[in-house]
Structure 1
Amino acid sequence: MQKVNFLVFDNFETLDLFGVVEIFGRLKETYELTFVSLKGGVVTSSQQTPIVTEPISTLDPSGILVVPGGLGTRKLVLDMQWLAHLKELSVQAAYVLTICTGSALLAKTGLIDGKQATSNKRAFDWVMSTNQAVKWQRKARWVVADKYYTSSGVSAGMDMALGFIADQHGKACAQKIAYDIEYVWNDCPDEDFFVGNKEENDEK
């Protein structure tokens, strides 16, 4: 059984996290889910959803690391201690999956310099500004670069997670999960209907 470590922080985006939790949680015989934060304890999302976490010092870092986005990323891109922990965990992880502006945090570690990545289109310019050495892909629902998976905004994390499941266990497995949760899976990583929206703004 492989660990899936969800690394959270105050003011994370609720659906970023729990959409992906739902998908991995459907494979109970394959994945064990763990919720962690820097110091442990209760962490609260932007929508005031509390979640109990373990400190990162207690986790097995060799599994899959999942990093959501949200308004809390604005402070964390300047938090060198937090970013150092993220870099260490990312190096040790078998795979790293980021949702929304979580890719800005990963970008600040330098681990995806020269690699393709994407992020929330409503915060894309800000994310790009955090590290211009990354090959940012504006038109992408999600992007895979070696062991790093990055997705666009919020619900795109679910598309990415299903894409990851398809890569690991076959597309039929991902399609069954999408059917069971009554979710219309956008299974094409290059299809992004939110690019070029005139109402884009820096929210997430």
Structure 2
Amino acid sequence: MSHIVFLLVPGLHLLDLAGPAQVFSTAADFGHSYQLSYVAEQPTVPTTQGLPLTARLDPPDLGPGDLIVVPGWRSRTLAASPPVGAACLQLLRDHHAQGGTVAGVCAGAELLGRAGLLDGRRCTTHHDVQDELAHRYPKASVVRDVLYTTDDRVVTSAGVASGIDLALHLIATRHGPGAAARVARDMVVYARRNGGEPQTSAMLRARSHFDDTVHRVQDLLDTRFDQPMPLRALAAAEGVSERTLTRLFTRATGGLTPLRYQQALRLERAEYLIGHGTTVDAAARAVGFEDPRMLRRLRARGVR
């Protein structure tokens, strides 16, 4: 069971909280073992939208596989953000130091900055306060005009709805792109938003187009990336020729063929598995490569 702890600050935006919470809750509905908790310094937390929230005062025991998310709040400046006690900041520091992941949605990056977790790392926030974030934390590398960034288990996203993109990316890296695609479809969220080059998810990076035929083919590949998916089968599923599908796909995705897109999905998932202790040979088999040498070649070439 992985804990997803939302650290609630007075005046938070409901969608900053509800978007990621819905993603992980839906993932749990599909069999991924997540338990969501809501923690604050007071039992009742006011929100910007006027709906008070109930929270627990003590966080659950957390391990390296768990996640703390800080939803953003309304504030004209980051400097005028609500005060947060030392215990909350220490919770963020300790969890990260023990191998856990921390995330900030929108202004939530400010709390990560106060905890010292942005120093030397890439981060982002809402476009209205990007310059201020860079000024307040000069040791951080603020990336502008992207949906989210990840750097050494510190994850940040831009404003409001981008928290959904952030959560889908975490689902994709933990459980594979098929799981993220299934969650997105259930939420009636089309994974088509592009956060710019620093965004690392192959599934989302190649979705910033408007070709429905290609999106449907990508849905198939996202769900079955670890299975053989010959071009003829993909083309037949859409009722087009192989040549037409290749032309449409490469034009929509900026040069990727269906095979290269599938390889990027496999490589991304394999890198996650390897980073968590799986051998290269085992990772290759898990993502669908019959010969581990193919995975080694793709890693050496840096295919994305």
| Aligned residue in 1 for 2:61 | 60
Name the structure 1 match of 2:48: 46
Superposition deviation, residue 69 in structure 1: 0.9
How far apart are 1:108 and its partner, in Å?
Answer: 1.9
Structure 1 residue 85: deviation in Å?
4.1
CA contact (8 A) 1:20 1:158 kept: yes
Q: Distance in 2 between matches of 1:170 and 1:187?
A: 18
Q: Post-superposition shift, 1:89?
A: 4.0
53 and 78 in structure 1: CA distance in 2 versus 1, 3 angstrom threshold: closer
Q: Does 1:128 align with 2:130?
A: no
Give the distance between the partners of 2:55 and 2:83, measured in 1 at CA.
Answer: 22
SS in 1 for 2:19: helix
Aligned mate of 1:175, from 157, 178, 181: 181
- The one-character-per-residue Cα deviations of 1:153-183 (angstroms, maximum 9, x if unpaired) are 1001101110110011111111111111111
2:213 is aligned to none
Aligned residue for 1:13?
A: 13
Look up the equivalent residue of 1:180 and give its one-letter code: D
Give the equivalent residue in structure 1 for 2:38. 35
Q: Which amino acid aligns with 2:105?
A: I
2:74 matched to which residue of 1? 71
**Distance in 2, Cα, partners of 1:175 & 1:79:** 36
What do the CA deviations read for 1:88-120 (whole angstroms, capped 9, x no partner)?
344346211110011111012212211111111
Provide the identity percentage.
27
Alpha-carbon deviations, 1:55-78, whole Å to 9, x = none? 13x422322101111126655576
- Structure 2: where are the runs of 5+ without partners? 199-304
Q: Distance in 1 between matches of 2:129 and 2:192?
A: 21
Map Cα deviations across residues 101-152 of structure 1 (whole Å, 9 max, x no partner): 1111101221221111111112212222221110100121110101111111
Q: Which moved more, 1:164-173 or 1:179-188?
A: 179-188
Distance 1:93 1:59, change over 3 A: farther
Q: Give yes or no for contact 2:145–2:195 (8 Å, CA) kept in 1.
A: no
How many residues are matched?
Answer: 190
What's the C-alpha RMSD, in Å, of the aligned pairs? 2.2
2:25 alignment partner in structure 1:
25
SS at match of 2:11: coil
Q: Contact 2:103–2:154 (CA<8 Å) still a contact in 1?
A: yes
- The reply to whether residue 110 of structure 1 matches residue 110 of structure 2 is no
Match of 2:169 in 1: 163
Q: Using CA pairs below 8 Å that are at least 6 residues apart, which structure has the higher relative contact order?
A: 1
- TM-score for the superposition, normalised by structure 1: 0.84
> Which of these residues, 156, 168, 172, is aligned with residue 150 of structure 1?
156
Residues 1:113 and 1:77: Cα distance change in structure 2 (over 3 Å)? farther
Counterpart residue number, 1:201: none
Amino acid at match of 2:168: L
What TM-score, normalized to structure 2?
0.58
Alignment gaps of 5+ in structure 1: 193-204
Where 1:55 maps in the other structure, the secondary structure is: coil
Distance 1:52 1:74, change over 3 A: farther
The AA in structure 2 aligned to 1:3 is H
- Secondary structure of 2:103's counterpart equals strand
Aligned to 1:202: none
4+ residue runs over 6 A deviation: none
